[in-house]
Structure 1
Amino acid sequence: MAKRLNNENTIGDVLKYIIKENRLQPGMDQISVKEAWQSLMGNGVNSYTKSVVLKGTILYVELSSAVLREELSFGKSKIIAMLNEELRRDLIKEVVLR
C-alpha cells in the first residue's frame, strides 16, 4: 500500500517522493544533463552538438565537427568535473565524444 503524505509536507518533499516512487529520476537526470551541457558549453559548442544522452554514468555527446571533438577530448576530465559540479552530485563518470 502506498505511503500517505500528510498536509505538513513541503511541495519539494512531495515532488521528491513522486519522482522516487514512480522511478522518474533517470529521465530527470537526462534533462538536467542536457541543460547543464548547454549552459556550460556556450553557443559555439552547442551549435555543433547533435545530441547529448546519459546512459547510466556515461555521457554520450554527438558532435558534427571532428575538429571540435578532438579539441574536447583533451579536456574530458574537466568537462566531467564541471558537469558534476553543475548537477551538484557525481552523476557522470565518463564522457564519450562521437
Structure 2
Amino acid sequence: MAKRNNENLSISDALKEFVETNRLEKGLNKVNVADAWANLMGNGVNNYTTSINLERETLYVQLSSSVLREELSYGKAKIITMLNEELGKEIIKKLVLR
C-alpha cells in the first residue's frame, strides 16, 4: 500500500504517481496505441485491421488486405511519426505490417 501524503495533489498528479508505483505504463501504452491507430487511420483502414500489438518499441499491425498492407508499407516512417505525435511521446520506433 502506498504511503499517504499530507500534501494536496491534483488528480492528474495522483494518477501519474499511481501508474508509476504500480508499473502500469506498458499496459496503458498498449491501449493508447490502439486508440491512436483507430483515430489516425480512420474507418477505411480500421475495417481491414484485425489486431494491433505493441511489444517493446515495435508495433505489429495485422491487416486482412494485402493491397492495403502494401500501400501502408510505403509510408511507415510517416505513420510512426504521426502515432508518436498523437501519443505525445516516442513509444514506437518500428512498424511491422502483417
- The reply to whether TM is greater than 0.5 is yes
Deviation at 1:4, TM superposition (A): 2.7
Partner residue, 2:31: 31
Identity %: 57
1:73-97, CA deviations, whole angstroms, 9 ceiling, x for partnerless residues?
0000000000000001111000000
Shift of 1:2: 4.0
Spell out structure 1 runs of 4+ moving beyond 2 A: 1-7
Which consecutive residues of structure 1, in runs of 5 or more, have no partner in the other structure? none
1:33-57 Cα shifts (integer Å, max 9, x gaps): 0000000000000000001111011
Instruction: Give the equivalent residue in structure 1 for 2:45.
Output: 45
For 1:12, the equivalent position in structure 2 comes to 12
Separation in structure 2 between the aligned mates of residue 21 and residue 32 of structure 1, nearest angstrom: 19
Unpaired runs of at least 5, structure 2: none
How large is the RMSD of aligned CA atoms in angstroms? Answer: 1.2
TM-score of the superposition, structure 1-length normalised? 0.95
> What are the within-5 Å matches in structure 2 for residues 53-64 of structure 1?
53-64=53-64
How many equivalent pairs are there?
Answer: 98
